[in-house]
């Protein structure tokens, strides 16, 4: 686990290992989420990167809420 320090200008530097693993580039925009005192940085991705994410899903595999366990 890597740690970072918030600068006097309220800036963070992401460690090189994390940047490389996530494929982050200069200029990447993030959505900042605060949930229960935890800060999540979610990189914004172009919509075309999500193409095919649900391939193979069929409507017959879906059930009504009342039929779920």
Q: How many helices (H) and strands (E) does the chain have?
A: 1, 2
pLDDT of 19:
92
Asked if residue 1 is part of any domain, the answer here is: no
Paired strand residues for 39: 34
Asked if residue 67 is part of any domain, the answer here is: no
pLDDT of 67:
67
Token pair listed for 50: 């999500």
Distance CA 55, CA 35 (A): 31
What stretches of the chain adopt beta strand conformation (E)? 30-35, 38-43
pLDDT of 52:
81
pLDDT of 11:
94
Asked if residue 36 is part of any domain, the answer here is: yes
Domain containing 25 equals 14-45
pLDDT of 12:
93
pLDDT of 38:
95
Q: Which residue ranges in the chain fall short of pLDDT 70?
A: 59-63, 67-69
Token pair listed for 46: 């172009």
Query: Among 2, 38, 53, which residue's Cα sits nearest to residue 13?
Result: 2
Q: How many domains does the chain have?
A: 1
């Amino acid at each position: 686990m890597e740690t970072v320090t918030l600068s006097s200008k309220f800036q963070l530097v992401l460690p090189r290992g994390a940047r490389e693993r996530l494929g982050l580039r200069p200029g990447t925009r993030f959505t900042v989420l605060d949930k229960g005192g935890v800060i999540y940085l979610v990189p914004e991705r172009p919509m075309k990167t999500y193409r095919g994410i649900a391939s193979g899903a069929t409507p017959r595999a879906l059930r009504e809420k009342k039929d779920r366990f």
